[in-house]
Structure 1
Amino acid sequence: MAETGETAAPAAEVKMQVLGQFVRDMSFENILAQKGIKSESRPNISVQVALDAKKRDGAENQFEVAIKLNVKSETETGETLFILELDYAGIFLIENVPDAQMHPFLMIECPRMLFPFTRRIVHDLTRDGGFPPLNLDTIDFVALYRQDMQRRAEAAQAAAPAAATVN
């Protein structure tokens, strides 16, 4: 082995710092109490999750990432018990992440940091709304990211043949 006298520079360590977290928007409708519905059965609960990430204007290496939850609880007969909507965001300082890896980093690692706080808000809000506290299951943000990428690829593929025939 010949030595060139040069050593490979070590890769800079990835740095992520949470600069702030906040509830951007929150809504809880207790339809059970409004309509006077009586429900003794176990409710059906659906949870929809959406993620959003963007670079902050005028702030180098700062990004805003949001978890948007829509939770709906219904009786077995389809009567709505409650609807909870939560948009919870964090501001992150992120350094030394290659551009090609920034999108997955923002959509996986940042939501992982925010999720325990989001879970706590949902727990407290449902309890304070007069229901048993809802403990959200852990969200697999890697699987969510892969599903989103697959959905985008399929949409792009479906749009490509249509665009080619428009000429």
Structure 2
Amino acid sequence: MADENDVLTNLDSNQPGTGPASGNGADNQPVAGIVSQYVKDLSVENPRAPESFQWRDQPELDVQFNIGAREINNELAEVELKVTATSKTAQGTAYIVDLSYCGLVTMRNMPDEQIHAFTYAEAPRILFPFARRVISDAVRDAGFAPMMLDPIDFNGLYIQQLQAKRAQEQSGGDMTPSGGNTPSGSDS
């Protein structure tokens, strides 16, 4: 059975890794998480209704996404997942859904590389299923069969974009942000 005095002595000891600055209430551990999530903007267009409900051609679907972020303060950022889904046939556009789905993300005691990776890879991965549900419901509410977007490998896209940026920098070119299917969009 341990002596209680040993426990108290160990809390106050000056041994490496056991002093007051290495725990014991100090807020020095990395923390990241979603504080809140919300629809910031949602637009649903059904420009050819009611004629579009009678079209029998297989629609051509185009889905574009972009990720943006802005710092709120030194521990809080807004991560924005923008998704545009368009359905077209030979007769015209059946519907267009534009969604801006956001999450407030807290990050503390993390190196810059981890903050960037969490902002542009992990946070969008967490937000995506909720954005996918909003789009599915919006398409259904517009009078069409719900559209379930395929899962997206945000981490793979993030790594791919970092590699492309490094290759561009090594070749001496200027990497300008591109729109559409980029994990960091114009805000990275």
Give runs of aligned pairs for residues 11-160 of structure 1, distance below 5 A: 13-33=29-49, 36-37=51-52, 38-56=54-72, 59-75=73-89, 77=90, 79-153=92-166, 157-159=172-174
Report which of the two structures shows the higher radius of gyration computed on alpha carbons: 2
Equivalent pairs, count: 151
Tell me how far apart the structure 2 counterparts of residues 131 and 99 of structure 1 sit (CA, whole Å): 44
Tell me how far apart the structure 1 counterparts of residues 31 and 17 of structure 2 sit (CA, whole Å): 23
Deviation per residue, 1:3-57 (Å, 9 max, x gap)? xx745969x64322322212111111112306x243112211111110011211x
1:63 partner amino acid: A
Q: Label 1:150 to 1:29 Cα distance change in 2 as closer, same or farther (>3 A).
A: farther
Counterpart of 1:163 in structure 2 is none
- Bigger mean CA deviation after superposition, 93-102 or 108-117: 93-102
- TM-score, normalised via structure 1 length: 0.78
Q: Label 1:159 to 1:115 Cα distance change in 2 as closer, same or farther (>3 A).
A: closer
Tell me how far apart the structure 2 counterparts of residues 6 and 14 of structure 1 sit (CA, whole Å): 20
Cα RMSD after superposing both structures: 2.4
- TM-score, normalised via structure 2 length: 0.70
1:88 partner amino acid: Y
Consecutive unaligned residues of structure 1, counting only runs of 5 or more, are: 161-167
